[in-house]
Amino acid sequence: MDPVAAKAIGAAIAIGVGGLGPGLGIGMAVRGAMDAIGRNPEAAGDVRTTMIIGAALAEAVAIYAFVIAIIIAFVV
Amino acid sequence: MEIHISVKPEVLFQLGPIGVTNSMLTMFIMMALLIIVFGNIARKAKPVPSRGQGVFELIAEFLLDLVENTGGKKIGRQVFPLVGGIFIFIAFSNYTGILPGIGTIYLKSSPEAVHSTEGEGAPAEGDGHNSEATPAEGAAFQVASIDTTVSPATGAFAEEEHAEEHLPLFRPPNADINMTLAMAVLTFTMVQVAGIRAHGVGGRIKHLADPPFLFPIEVIGEFSRIISLSARLFGNVFAGEVLLGVIYAMVGAMKFAILPLFLPVVFIGLELLFGTIQALVFALLTLIYITLASASHHGDHDEEHDDAHHPATTGHATSGAAD
Amino acid sequence: MGALGLDLWGFIVQLIAFIIFVWLFWKFALGPITKVLDERQKNVRESLEAAERMKAEMAATAARNEEILAEARQQAGQIVAQAREASDATLARAREEAAKQSDLYLERAQATLRQETEQARQQLRQEVADLSVMAAEKIVRKNLDKAAQAALIEEALAQAGN
């Protein structure tokens, strides 16, 4: 296989698969937060802040995948 | 479409054994600016705040509330200098990534590569960057040109070969793994120092070896925090840079459309948000790690949760998931 | 690791720079502003406490005023009661005195009346005696008969009786 094509495929798989989990995770986190805000609208501010931090932590996994993809594409 | 992507920061010039990189340069400028601007505000602080003082007080008060609610009055105040410094440095460093000229003002290292592109029908951003650029160290500089004729894939992968020619003068400090690793190592050291100061060396080891067979895993967990903290921040900032670069290139490719010019605005707003969130995450995790390490561990885990208030408990849960 | 751009010297320089930054930033910017915030918090708390104290003081003053007012009202009532009592007593005394006086007057008047009656009676008796003497003289002078004499006396007596 052409090395450039192999790299491109590898990078695409890395970010594609790596983005799945965080996407689901962030979706669940936001759903939970929306439920919480719906039940207790007074706590919306606290819930939002915690949700954003949680989403950022979940998103970090996607970022790891992105870094790996970049390394595959440009460095290796 | 030529997009300049380099995972590692470029060395601008050599100073003894130290290769001064573009991210290092930006870091020094950023630190000096922060200390001068905020120091000036703090020096002229009055009981009735001016507008600048109000902004600084808003940030300081937010952070103070955060550390006191999470770490308690005593520990919170002790870690406040570190947590506050980390938050403000990361937040403002991340904002540098969206400034025009950061990552787009190039130094050309090889003289034969110098050719003027000014007035060559550069895309809309080009004119803005002209006024920003200043000749540095007599080296020729060139405004970023986005060559729209090269096809995306080949351009991106062929770019590697002549990467050495492109030397962006500035690079967001946190898009350099050395910087984020340095901060993570400092955080790790401070966590151990806080743990040892609270319980002594033996107490710290005993805390880590709570069920003794978990001791190796706990130690690995401690060290993995360095990697997760640094990689998270680096990845986010670097990804943001790449994202903005791609968007700018896309907008540059659509030469005769007006609407796409507003597209980067959306992503700049997103980058602002992410910059703040990542700074908050780094600072909060530092705070939580230190709080957990120095909290009393006489009983089970419930006591920890009682010591630290609700942000700590949620943070603890999420940090456990992140490690 | 080199692929990610890890570089020992860069790492060391940035670590030291960051430590110095945190220290300087705390010394010149974050520390002073925290002090300002703490001072403001202290000031606000103190002024709130002072206001609270002032309020308590005002409430105490109001209570004292109320107390004084109540006392004054009570005293006034007492004074009025006393005055009424005094006036009642005076009135009673005056009434008594008046009654006594009127009794006295009445008695005196009665006494005077009695005296005058007595006087009048005496005068009458005297007059009667005078008349009888006059009548006797007449009788003696004219030498009248027994029957005429008797008639004369009768007449005189009738005169006196009237």
Handedness of CA C12, C13, C16, C17 (dihedral sign): negative
- Of all residues in chain B, the one with the smallest CA distance to C12 is B182
**Predicted pLDDT at B165:** 59
Evaluate whether residue C74 is within a structural domain.
yes
Q: In this structure, is residue C152 part of a structural domain? A: yes
Q: Identify whether B226 is part of a domain.
A: yes
Can you tell me the ipTM of this complex? 0.72
Report the C-alpha gap between A14 and A11 in whole angstroms.
Answer: 5
Residues of B in contact with C41 (CB under 8 A): none
**Residue B232 is a catalytic residue:** yes
Residue B210 lies in a domain: yes
* Full domain range(s) for residue C105: 45-161
pLDDT band at B262 (very low <50, low <70, confident <90, very high): confident
Residue C135 lies in a domain: yes
Is B178 among the residues known to form the active site? Answer: no
Yes or no: say if B254 and B260 are a contact pair by the CB < 8 Å rule.
yes
Instruction: Confirm whether C14 is domain-assigned.
Output: no
Which residue ranges form the domains of chain A, and what is each CATH number? 3-75 (1.20.20.10)
Residues of chain A contacting C2 with CB distance shorter than 8 Å: none
In a domain, C31, yes or no: no
Closest-approach residue (CA) in chain C for A74: C3
Q: Any chain A CB within 8 A of the CB of B239?
A: yes
pLDDT digits (tens, 9 = 90+) for C61-118: 999 999 999 999 999 999 999 999 999 999 999 999 999 999 999 999 999 999 999 9
Using a 10 angstrom Cβ sphere, with 0-12 exposed, 13-18 middle and 19 or more buried, the burial of residue B304 is middle
Evaluate whether B34 touches B89 at the Cβ level (below 8 Å).
yes
Per the CB < 8 A criterion, the answer to whether A56 and B278 are in contact is yes
- Residue C17 within a domain: no
CA distance A74 to chain C (A): 10
Give, in degrees to the nearest 5, the angle at Cα B293 between B290 and B299.
140
Total structural domains in chain C? 1
Distance CA B195, CA B137 (A): 47
Q: Which residues does chain B have within 8 Å of residue C11's beta carbon, measured at their own beta carbons?
A: 178, 181-182
How many domains are contained in chain B? 1
* Residue B1 in this model has a pLDDT that exceeds 60: no
Q: Do the Cβ atoms of B239 and A63 come within 8 Å? A: yes
Q: Say which range, B53-67, B83-97, B198-212, B301-315, has the weakest mean pLDDT.
A: B301-315
| pLDDT over 80 (residue B153) | no
CA distance A47 to B305: 18
Q: Which chain C residue lies closest to A75 (C-alpha atoms)?
A: C3
B21-70 pLDDT, tens digit per residue, is: 888 888 999 999 999 999 998 888 887 888 888 899 899 989 998 888 88
Among A7, C72, A22, C31, smallest CA distance to B236 is for A22
* CB nearest to C5's CB, from B8, B88, B182: B8
Residues of C in contact with B60 (CB under 8 A): 30, 33-34, 37
pLDDT band at C155 (very low <50, low <70, confident <90, very high): confident
